[in-house]
Amino acid sequence: MSWKSVCPCALVLSVVGIGAIRAQAPFPPAPRTIDAGPGPIAATRDVTPSSYVAPAAGLSDWILGTQPGCCGPIGGDGPIRGELYLRGGPSLPVEGKYFGHTLQTGWDIDGGGRVLFFNTARDADWSVDLGLTNIHNSGQHSDRKATLSILVPDANGTATRIPALDVSVESLNRTFVNAGFGTDWYLTGNAGGCEDGSCGKGCAWRAGIDAGGRYGTAKLELNEIRHRSDVIGGVYVGLHTDLIWNCGNCCCFLAGFRAEWDYTWMDILQKTDADLEDVNLLFTVGFQY
């Protein structure tokens, strides 16, 4: 048999075989078995539409705060509370080789917040205080001069500082960022708590002490030339007493009085000693939450 007769026969057999393969029925799928389990358990899986109860619409009890035990005190011992305050009052310069004699009584304005960490009995706390302070004093006694100097280069290129101008104070403005720590004692009443939706019964009276540091800037207006400025630092110690009124919904208003001593370091007058001590007598309003 020649190749000319073998090739056509092979081609015909291939076409016939492919057609036969395509014509075969697919294999039937394997049977699936479902284990319904014991009768009583299978019966519980039969949930009819009449037995389905849709959940109630609205916010959950955990969000609304009505779930028992969801809103207890935070902290290892007693509750942790927050407080915002605003203070204002006279600032009296009491000591300073230069500014102690050339500044009038000024005005001090404070604002900030405190975090209070109460004990278990809620009759005392430790506090952390962050705030801002601005103290403005007008000048007096313009006959008391401070000498400013300038740098003058000599023939060798070395700068020499020489006295140049006597100046007097028109006003001094200081702005600080404060950070401090303190403690309070509740002489009557206590801090209350948020579990019953209030912050104590009636009024409370407290007293406390705190201390801390300050960092900021000073602007000195002079009668003879334009202003000078400086970066300044300081420390303070304060005593305060406050009355606290329950206003419901875990919020309390407070009002009180604060006496504070502070010390400010300044180089705003070059070689003249410009450090200053003040006594600030401040009235306080705020709220505790």
Q: How many CB atoms lie within 10 A of CB 10?
A: 10
Are the C-beta atoms of residues 254 and 210 closer than 8 Å to each other? no
Give the residue extent of every domain in the chain: 79-288
Q: How far is residue 245's CA from residue 201's CA, in Å, rounded to a whole number?
A: 9
pLDDT at 220: 96
Q: How far is residue 169's CA from residue 137's CA, in Å, rounded to a whole number?
A: 10
Q: Would the pTM of this model clear 0.85, i.e. be above it?
A: no
Angle made by CA atoms 10, 14, 16, in degrees to the nearest 5 = 120
Q: How far is residue 242's CA from residue 236's CA, in Å, rounded to a whole number?
A: 19
pLDDT at 37: 53
pLDDT at 50: 57
- Determine the CATH number of domain 79-288: 2.40.160.20
Of the candidates 122, 253, 125, the one whose C-alpha atom is nearest the C-alpha of residue 193 is: 122
| Residue 194, Ramachandran bin (φ over 0: left; ψ between -120 and 50: alpha; else beta) | alpha
What residue ranges in 154-275 does DSSP mark as E strands?
159-167, 169-188, 203-222, 228-246, 252-265
Name the stretches of the chain with pLDDT < 50. 1, 3-4, 6, 11-12, 15-16, 18, 20-23, 25, 41-44, 47, 68-70, 73, 193-199
Are the C-beta atoms of residues 80 and 250 closer than 8 Å to each other? no
